[in-house]
């Protein structure tokens, strides 16, 4: 079943010797040696082969790639991220950050291999001037972490039977399941029912985080990620937050109960984008399970605490879903090609979803960006914040929304926005300092921008707006917080 993984072929000889000398090589030496290796196609990659493959992409696409490490595993392996972008290493204003995370459970390996393939594919197609891929790389900063649990992978890869692989290697080297190791922000959520964004962490959160978890949390805090998927195996379904049941458990921890976010419809759509672009996920009948349309709410499948996707939603601006990609957690190499072609379109289409909703700048009176400004959408109790340069991204389904920007020391500004189905709607905010704001007598709640620079189809909210009623009264100045509890 897994012989393709453990029987070495002649052309893998170079890779095998690298594996035995693992501790001796640094990246520079590997970089030299990889020129001697033949291309790796549709085969499993041990740690050194993974590193070689990523370096190979960097070699073939030096101007659009950047390899970096977010930290080390418990056994000292690097958690490498390959970034693909037209200006690698830099955040460009208004260019969204996207991420894929694979192999969080060391024995669930298809995501790891698909992400290596994806990185190679993006590089090759970019070099061939594929217009879709060129556009994607020019407009997006893509971060690919093929393995969040490289230690667990090596344990799983040493197993010789499918039965052993079902659980062996799932956890990290210290025996901890990384998808049960993130701070549980649902506890705070229960206490603060009117808030479900940017929940703060307990002062001692680091003490309970494994090295891999710690590295990922610091990574999430360092980049203003907008959209993400993390990849698992053992089923075929796109799973969206929340993973943790909101209600007290009545009949044990595995009682199924739907636990939805304020962005429920958006998450369902994101999950369907993957399932319907995938070769067979959308059929729903896979691996002996049935998930209508190939999607499921996490908690309605089974509830889990301290998972990564809930953490993304509750602590950061990032919307993450969890992709279960294969019935077999460690599929044989003979299945990798079919899996790649079954997933390729879904991997691309899901990345393109980062370019939906609204984006723009939050600017002060001198047109300087305001970081950490809050962007609120009326009726959806989940805010996002602007990044260091003042740019923000808010995924939304098509429709009309009232969007408010607020920042300490400035008057709030609300704008009525039309969101279409394709490109993101550009909405810039120009905040006026409270101290110098013009008199708001008669119009007490909304500061209008002195100049409208938004290019997209949007209107400033004025007396003629249909939204005047709910927004023009001080009583309803921040109606979202009062009217919408989660």
- Please give the positions annotated as active site: 324
- Minimum distance of Zn ion from residue 108's CB (angstroms): 5
Burial, 256: exposed, middle or buried (Cβ in 10 Å; 0-12, 13-18, 19+)?
middle
Beta carbon of residue 219, minimum distance to Zn ion (angstroms, whole number): 19
* Beta strands, E only, 314-363: 319-326, 358-363
Q: How many CB atoms lie within 10 A of CB 7?
A: 9
Residue 232: CB minimum distance to Zn ion, A? 3
Q: Which is nearer to Zn ion, 232 or 430 (CB)?
A: 232
Alpha-helical (H) ranges within 255-326 are 264-277, 298-301, 308-315
Burial of 192-208, coded b for 16+ CB within 10 Å and e otherwise, reads eeebbbbbebeeeeeee
* Closer of 105 and 359 to Zn ion (Cβ): 105
Which one, 120 or 213, has the nearer CB to Zn ion? Answer: 213
Measured in degrees and rounded to the nearest 5, phi and psi for residue 71 equal 150, -170
What are the two backbone dihedrals, phi and then psi, of residue 406, each rounded to the nearest 5 degrees?
Answer: -140, 150
Helix 110-127, helix 336-352: angle, nearest 10: 70
> Closest Cα to residue 350, out of 146, 180, 115, 147?
115
Nearest to 381 by CA among 259, 229, 223, 264: 264
Q: From residue 117, give the alpha-carbon distance in Å to each of 42, 232, 301, 311, 409.
A: 8, 16, 30, 27, 48
CB of 231 to Zn ion, least distance (A): 8
- Please give the helix or strand (H or E) that residue 254 lies within, else none: none
> CB of residue 324 vs Zn ion: minimum separation in angstroms?
7
* Residue facing Zn ion at closest CB distance: 232
Nearest CB to Zn ion, comparing residues 105 and 278: 105
Residues that bind Zn ion (CB under 5 A): 105, 108, 232
Shortest separation between residue 105's beta carbon and Zn ion, angstroms = 4
By C-beta, is 179 or 275 nearer to Zn ion?
179
Give whichever of 224 and 326 is closer to Zn ion, judged by the CB atom: 326
């Amino acid at each position: 079943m897994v012989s393709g993984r453990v029987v070495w072929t002649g052309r893998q000889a170079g890779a095998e010797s690298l594996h035995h000398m693992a501790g001796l090589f640094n990246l520079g030496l590997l970089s030299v040696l990889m020129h001697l290796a033949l291309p790796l196609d549709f085969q499993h990659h041990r740690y050194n082969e993974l590193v070689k493959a990523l370096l190979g992409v960097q070699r073939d696409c030096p101007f659009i790639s950047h390899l970096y490490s977010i930290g080390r595993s418990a056994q000292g392996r690097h958690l490498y991220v390959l970034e693909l972008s037209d200006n690698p290493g830099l955040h460009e204003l208004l260019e969204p950050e996207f991420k894929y995370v694979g192999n969080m459970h060391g024995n669930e390996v298809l995501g790891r291999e698909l992400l290596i393939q994806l990185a190679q594919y993006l590089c090759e197609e970019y070099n061939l001037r594929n217009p879709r891929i060129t556009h994607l790389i020019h407009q997006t900063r893509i971060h690919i972490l093929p393995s969040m649990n490289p230690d667990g992978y090596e344990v799983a890869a040493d197993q010789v039977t499918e039965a052993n692989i079902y659980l062996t290697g799932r956890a990290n080297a210290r025996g901890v399941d990384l998808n049960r190791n993130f701070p549980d922000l649902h506890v705070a959520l229960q206490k603060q029912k009117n808030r479900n964004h940017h929940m703060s962490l307990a002062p001692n959160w680091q003490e309970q985080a494994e090295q891999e978890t710690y590295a990922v949390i610091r990574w999430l805090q360092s980049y203003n990620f907008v959209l993400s998927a993390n990849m698992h195996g053992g089923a075929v379904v796109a799973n969206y937050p929340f993973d943790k049941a909101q209600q007290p458990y009545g009949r044990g921890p595995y009682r199924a109960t739907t636990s939805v976010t304020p962005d429920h419809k958006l998450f369902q759509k994101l999950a369907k984008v993957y399932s319907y672009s995938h070769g067979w996920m959308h059929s729903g009948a896979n691996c002996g399970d049935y998930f209508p349309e190939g999607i499921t709410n996490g908690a309605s499948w089974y509830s889990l605490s301290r998972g990564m996707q809930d953490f993304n939603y509750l602590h950061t601006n990032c919307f993450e879903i969890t992709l279960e990609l294969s019935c077999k957690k460690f599929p044989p190499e003979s299945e990798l090609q079919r899996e790649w072609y079954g997933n390729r379109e879904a991997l691309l289409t899901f990345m393109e979803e980062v370019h939906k909703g609204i984006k723009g700048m939050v600017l002060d009176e001198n047109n300087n960006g305001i970081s950490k400004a809050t962007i609120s959408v009326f009726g959806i109790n989940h805010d996002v914040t602007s990044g260091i340069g003042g740019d923000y991204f808010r995924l939304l389904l098509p429709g009309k929304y009232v969007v408010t920007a607020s920042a300490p020391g400035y008057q709030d500004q609300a704008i009525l926005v039309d969101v279409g189905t394709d490109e993101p709607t550009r909405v810039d905010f120009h905040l006026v300092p409270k101290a110098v704001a013009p008199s708001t007598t008669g119009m007490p709640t909304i500061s209008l921008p002195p100049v409208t620079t938004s290019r997209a189809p949007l209107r400033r909210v004025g007396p003629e707006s249909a939204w005047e009623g709910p927004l023009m009264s001080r009583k309803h100045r921040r109606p979202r917080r009062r009217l919408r509890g989660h």
